[in-house]
Amino acid sequence: MLWLLFLTLPGPGDPNLGREQRGTVGVHDVPPGRWPWQASLRRHSKEREQWEHVCGGSLVHLQWVLTAAHCIGRRQASAFRVQVGQLRLYDPDRLMKVTEIIPHPDYNHLLSAKGGADIALLRLEAPVTLSPHIQVVSLPPASLRVPEKKMCWVTGWGDVRLGGPLRPPHHLQEAEVPVMGNEVCNRHYQNSSADAARQIIKDDMLCAGSEGRDSCQGDSGGPLVCSWNDTWVQVGIVSWGDICGHRDLPGVYTRVTSYVSWIHQYVLSPGH
């Protein structure tokens, strides 16, 4: 499954930055109720006259959605809508307005996702109503260390093969991906870079994926979850990568444990 990078409406802060238009295999339709925190972030397309899916997200609180900062760019809250509880895009939509966007203060618009701190919170206009298809995902403790080679799951409506967008009915896809240690991941990315001395994979990033198992365009902002103590916890946010599904260049995710305390400033504070 490929990144929820932006499939349409390119512009400042566009998520296609840093992610080549190549897809992957190893994904399949999600059964009902399996990942009930998955959200779809929408922007309005004048050309198609609809609120079009541009990124993924996850419900981390009844009124807050977690996503990638590069999905937002410098746009206002009114530019977005959110859909939750849906397996197939646009079938049917019950879109919610976004009333507040809080990108992480360390996110750099010029560097985009590769600069780190690629995380943002969206406040919905009203709390969602929980159901078997709408649930809040658990966040990990800040102390959690995700071991190398642990198998986790990434979900989204992004591309599903080389240059192949997800076709109607746009059913949510899932892929099981192995975690790669940051040092190994950084070496792989350095080997493919002209700047081999620079640290490419930063401490607030997490790598996961293998040949044919990855996220890609259209999956940005979506969750990477691992099973921990019999509970699904979100350890990553789809952020960037160079080639979807490449053996040595796994997907790069925002490491949620690096930002748990920042998230809790908003989702647990009075008045939010």
Pick the catalytic residue: 53, 61, 70, 188? 70
Active site residue 106: no
Q: Which positions ≥6 away from 51 have C-beta within 8 Å? A: 42, 43, 44, 45, 81, 93, 95
Q: Which positions ≥6 away from 42 have C-beta within 8 Å? A: 51, 52, 53, 54, 80, 81, 82, 83, 95
Sign of the four-CA dihedral 82, 86, 90, 92: negative
Helices (H), the chain: 69-72, 182-191, 260-267
Beta carbons of 16 and 5 less than 8 angstroms apart? yes
- State the CB neighbour count (10 A cutoff) for residue 62: 14
Active site residue 118: yes
Pick the catalytic residue: 53, 104, 118, 204? 118
State the Cα–Cα distance between residues 178 and 169, nearest whole angstrom: 28
Pick the catalytic residue: 112, 210, 220, 239? 220
Active site residue 44: no
Positions annotated as catalytic residues are 70, 118, 220
